Amino acid sequence: MPSKLFILLKSPHEFTGMDMMKNIAAGERSGAILFEDAAYFAVDKRQANELLSVVKEAYVMADDLASRGFEGKAVPGFKAITYPEAVELIMEQYDQTVTL
């Protein structure tokens, strides 16, 4: 099964795709990149733990953290990345992207 990289854009309070993500990820190598308000997943412990129980690797866009006043405050398990690093993940590290 191809490895999957989830693209999340919505805030945890607006996001309703966790169960779908569990089903799609289902034991395969999986990761998530948090863009825009999805960056709040990376600074709320409970939401962060729920997401980390679904995907093996989690990334958050550094500029989305900074623009929301959370620079350097991602909880352990979330790596803050730049756009070139996001391109590397999309084009080279994972087989498919899934936007939810």
Residues of this chain that interact with other proteins (CB under 8 A) are 7, 9-10, 35-36, 82-84, 86-88, 90-91, 96-97, 99
Q: Which of 55, 71, 74 is nearest to 63 (CA)?
A: 71
Rounded least distance, CB 63 to other proteins, Å: 8
Count of beta carbons in the 10 Å neighbourhood of residue 83: 10
Measured from the CB atom, the residue of 17 and 75 that comes closer to other proteins is 17
Beta-bridge mates of residue 79? 59
Rounded least distance, CB 58 to other proteins, Å: 17
Strand 30-34 with 96-99, pairing: unpaired
Rounded least distance, CB 27 to other proteins, Å: 22
